[in-house]
């Protein structure tokens, strides 16, 4: 197996364990001591460098409103120290967000994330774009009374 292939498998496992299943402590095996959010418009942690405790806190807080969230990986592209992941995402809006109380309705999103690896194959950060306008439009629509 090549390094590229191994990294893709490792990244897919990180997404499943930490972000899909919500096992924040599984980050111990995947995330470096310093994790840099280089670019992530709309993310409350955009621009920050997180230690492992901070990373786990971000996982728990991000997932609170969407406890059954699932990433559907569309593509994985390995080059140099990075793997790019394109993805679809779906979740039940099960917890409150500022201005958007929980509705129990499904929300969908898509995005692309560049993950960086260090020499020990741990994640050192990401550069991400998500279609957050699409999410807001769905949250607003879900909040509107049924006609």
Residue selected from 3, 132, 141, 143 as contacting a second copy according to rule CB under 8 A: 132
74 binds a second copy (CB under 8 A): yes
Q: x-or-dash pattern for a second copy, window 44-73, by CB under 8 A?
A: ------------------------------
As a whole number of angstroms, the distance between CA 106 and CA 65 comes to: 12
Q: Near a second copy by CB under 8 A, which window of 9-17, 34-42, 63-71, 139-147?
A: 34-42
User: H-helix or E-strand containing 55?
Assistant: helix 52-63
Quick one: which of 2, 98, 133, 144 contacts a second copy (CB under 8 A)? 133
Q: Does 97 bind a second copy (CB under 8 A)?
A: no
The one among 9, 49, 86, 140 contacting a second copy by CB under 8 A: 86
- Binding to a second copy by CB under 8 A, coded x per residue (else -) over 2-21, reads --x-----------------
Question: Measured at the alpha carbon of residue 28, what is the angle toward residues 24 and 32, in degrees to the nearest 5?
Answer: 115
Residue 106 CB coordination number (10 Å) = 12
Q: What's the rounded Cα separation, in Å, for the pair 34 and 100?
A: 32
* b/e per residue 30-42 (b: at least 16 CB within 10 A): bbbeebbbeebee
31-39/123-130 β-pairing: parallel
Give me the residues that bind a second copy (CB under 8 A), please. Answer: 4, 39, 41-42, 74-80, 82, 84, 86, 110-112, 114, 127, 129-134, 136
């Amino acid at each position: 197996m090549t390094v590229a292939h191994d990294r893709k498998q490792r990244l897919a496992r990180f997404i499943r364990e930490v972000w899909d299943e919500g096992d924040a402590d599984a980050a111990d095996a995947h995330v470096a001591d310093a994790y840099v959010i280089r670019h992530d418009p709309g993310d409350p942690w955009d621009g920050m460098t997180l230690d492992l405790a901070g990373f786990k806190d971000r996982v728990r807080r991000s997932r609170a409103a969407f406890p059954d969230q699932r990433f559907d990986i569309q593509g994985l592209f390995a080059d140099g120290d990075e793997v790019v992941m394109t993805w679809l995402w779906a979740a039940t809006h099960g917890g409150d967000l500022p201005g958007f109380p929980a509705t129990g309705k499904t929300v969908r999103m898509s995005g692309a994330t560049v993950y960086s690896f260090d020499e020990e194959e741990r994640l050192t950060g990401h550069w991400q774009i998500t279609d957050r306008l699409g999410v807001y439009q769905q949250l607003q629509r879900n909040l509107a009374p049924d006609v």
